[in-house]
Structure 1
């Protein structure tokens, strides 16, 4: 497993103490999380993420590398050939028609080349297939709430496990008191919104990063290919505890998911339209 290039989350597997007993916790593997000494993007867990990794590794990175070395070569040439000691009388040329046409057309062609690969992927991200499951993620300052409207409309909050409350194998800044449990091999539609300020629901291994905006619902989708634990975080600056609202997803087989749903319907059932109180209070 490899670290994401820009936004990395801190290492390895953690299993929450408050997880449902129906889940095979001891056999789960952390897949969607960074590992020490890793380089590059996280290993993809969905077809969308696989295409993003391909776009990054085989389209964008080579183009950026070539451009960077080209600009570096130009800088070295300018520094060596046109230094003051070698050119005491500077050139007074201000225009070169061929050069100006080239530096306009070549970047445009590079953008067209990138668009050939990126536009179909962008379209596929936004074209949501027939969902087998819908989940709602609601951002708050500073925790996430989740609703399962297809499975009895139960809801729960997922708060970060505070450092003083960490148990064995739990990871600070990554583990939550309640996990998002999802089935593998299922088209999952995630509806993302917020109640206060703009947040962002981001799980790199799924290829999902969408803003949670108050008064608006954004949608995305993914299909998890293998069971395991996947981590994410809010990636929008949303206040003083922005770094303390992680996302923890446990992907399980469909049969195991149904067993979890049966228990979750009891544990997280709404009473008179009101969900149970948060198990861990959000920090002031």
Structure 2
């Protein structure tokens, strides 16, 4: 706690200057991006592998179908084939178009079920449980197993509030993705997320973590993640939930265990102050590391 307080007093005013070097944002779209976002969890690494694996089937099948369509249109057009064939049966073709799809489906199904099992099987017992409640149009979070009572609302960061919150760096705090209060978790820690809603159906999604869970009123869905690198990771509500659905971002800040422990103590009484102190502490660590280099 003393470390964060001292960092805030010394560096609070300097946070906007060069803070982009302290942590990197994740999960936001990049120019000309064609694939999935860079993974921050083992599950997302598996998802990226599975996506690339399925492309080895999708691309040849697409090209084969395109070739067959073009061949049929040219070879069997009315001018080139005035008397159409009356063939009604071909055993070889029927065997091929039955066996080949079965083989392809089996080759896709096996790793698919393995991935599905991994998504529902945390590597160890979750150390942190966070309840995420969707409302029109923001999120509320509650740290359920912490000794301190930590709960807060997380709303989209408005441009007029950037200066007051030291979040003027749009590369680190992108427009329509940054929030006023991020979810803070430690790195390399299994986190359970209980997802629900208070009004209509929402969805809690962090692409870089490879997770998405529907938030349904009157029901609690459970998901988990284990972030393997520090940074800020963004997501959005992924269920059409009303007029301001597009303005309901999600932000998770992954930090070291030491900084998380200090933040948790401070957030029990002052969440905005704890977040500002955390940003100052991260910037201080980054400045020391850069000076050492």
Q: Give the TM-score range, shorter chain.
A: 0.7 to 0.9
- Partner of 1:266: helix, strand, or coil? coil
- Partner of 2:67: helix, strand, or coil? helix
**Shift in Å, 1:102:** 2.6
Unaligned runs of 5+ in 2: 1-6, 273-293
In structure 2, which of residues 106, 122, 135 is the aligned counterpart of residue 140 of structure 1?
135
The match for 2:150 is: 154
- Deviations along 1:6-47, one digit per CA (max 9) or x if unpaired, are xxxxxxxxxxxxxx9599962122233332233311110001
Unaligned runs of 5+ in 1: 1-19, 270-284
- Deviations along 1:194-220, one digit per CA (max 9) or x if unpaired, are 111111111011010111111111111
Give me the TM-score of the superposition, normalised by structure 2.
0.79
Indicate yes or no: 2:49 matched with 1:54: yes
**Shift in Å, 1:163:** 4.1
Distance 1:105 1:199 in 2: 41
- Deviations along 1:231-270, one digit per CA (max 9) or x if unpaired, are 100111111111110011110000000111011111259x
Alignment of 1:238-277 (within 5 A): 238-268=241-271
Decide whether the 8 Å contact of 1:224 with 1:251 is kept in 2: yes
Greater radius of gyration (CA): 2
- Partner of 2:85: helix, strand, or coil? coil
- Partner of 2:269: helix, strand, or coil? helix
**Higher relative contact order (Cα pairs below 8 Å, separated by 6+ residues):** 2
Decide whether the 8 Å contact of 1:32 with 1:45 is kept in 2: no
Indicate yes or no: 2:97 matched with 1:103: yes
Aligned residues: 249
The match for 1:210 is: 213
In structure 2, which of residues 212, 227, 234 is the aligned counterpart of residue 231 of structure 1?
234
Indicate yes or no: 2:111 matched with 1:120: no
**Shift in Å, 1:99:** 2.4
Distance 1:163 1:107 in 2: 52
Bigger Cα displacement from structure 2, 209-218 vs 252-261? 209-218
Decide whether the 8 Å contact of 2:204 with 2:212 is kept in 1: yes
Decide whether the 8 Å contact of 2:197 with 2:217 is kept in 1: yes
- Partner of 2:228: helix, strand, or coil? coil
**Shift in Å, 1:166:** 4.2
Give me the TM-score of the superposition, normalised by structure 1.
0.82
**Shift in Å, 1:92:** 2.5
In structure 2, which of residues 71, 82, 86 is the aligned counterpart of residue 77 of structure 1?
71
The match for 2:283 is: none
Indicate yes or no: 2:201 matched with 1:198: yes
Which structure dedicates a bigger proportion of its chain to helix?
2
Q: RMSD of aligned C-alpha atoms?
A: 2.2
**Shift in Å, 1:136:** 1.1
Decide whether the 8 Å contact of 1:229 with 1:251 is kept in 2: yes
In structure 2, which of residues 32, 36, 43 is the aligned counterpart of residue 37 of structure 1?
32
Distance 1:200 1:104 in 2: 38
